[in-house]
Amino acid sequence: MSPLSTSGRRKRPYHHGDLRQALLDATLELLADSGLRDLSLRAVARHAGVSHAASYRHFASKESLLAALAEQGFRMLGQAMSAAMQAQADEPVARLQAAGVGYVSFGVQHPQHLQVMFGGAIGSFEHYPQLVEAARAAYALLADVVRNGIERGALRAKDAQTVQAAAWAIVHGLTQLMAGGQLCQSDGAPLPLAQQLALARSVTALFSEGLAAQRPTGRRPTAKTGVS
């Protein structure tokens, strides 16, 4: 990216090349180390190797840097859900589950983005129209797959809004609980990624099968069922 190699003791060129992205990257690294609470704009600049005033060439304020990162996060979330759904046949229950797994999968793999998106760092989304739009678009993916499933008679319908809220809530809650360390191993250590994804699959399966107009195996409880 930078015109001169930074290796070999060459002094860093006066112009950075892509400081905007470098600041966003530095922010993610600091968030991974110490969390939102302790994040400062000065530390971000320090981490990116520039003076702390330099960031004002790219972001109007600390909050607007975080808003840019949150926007990036919502786009990534949308892509994660889309990609997961496209790997499915055109079957509403399977697509709903896939979208849910995509949501959780994004969240547990990008907890820094999650913090900025949902951690209350941004006073009001309304000041950042592109952020509002990105968030809306991500939610719409989930809402659409639910609405479509209901219209096609594949999902039990109360009103669509209830089902949409429920679908959002379960994947959001699972993501937050795992990323926040509340849902963890019995010794308190966070679940390894593979187990997080496995839990995401089984929870979303439970939910979307419970929502299916027909029970998958007919009308008896699932094959796996057994009273212990």
Partner DNA sequence: TGTACATCAGTGAACGCGCGTTCACTGATGTAC
**Which residues would be at the binding site for a second copy (CB under 8 A)?**
35-37, 115, 118-121, 126, 135, 150-153, 156-160, 162-163, 165-166, 168-177, 180, 182-183, 188, 199, 202-203, 205-207, 209-211, 213, 219, 221-222, 224-228
- HSE (side-chain half, CA atoms, 13 Å) at 155: 29
* Alpha helix stretches (DSSP H) within 4-86: 19-34, 41-48, 62-86
d(CA 26, CA 112): 11
Length of the chain: 228
Q: Among the candidate windows 42-50, 90-98, 146-154, 195-203, which touches DNA by CB under 7 A? A: 42-50
Phi, psi values for residue 199, rounded to 5°: -65, -40
d(CA 27, CA 14): 21
| Contact between 10 and DNA per CB under 7 A | no
Q: Which residues pair with 155 in a beta bridge?
A: 212
In one-letter notation, the amino acid at residue 22 is: A
* Binding positions for DNA, 44-103, rule CB under 7 A: 50-54, 56-58, 61-63
| Contact between 15 and DNA per CB under 7 A | yes
Q: How many CB atoms lie within 10 A of CB 183?
A: 16
**Residue 47 binds which entry of DNA, a second copy, none, CB below 5-8 Å type-dependent:** none
Q: Among the candidate windows 43-51, 139-147, 170-178, 194-202, which touches DNA by CB under 7 A? A: 43-51
Q: Among the candidate windows 7-15, 89-97, 118-126, 214-222, which touches DNA by CB under 7 A? A: 7-15
**Which stretches of the chain bind DNA, using CB under 7 A?**
3, 13-17, 19, 39-43, 50-54, 56-58, 61-63
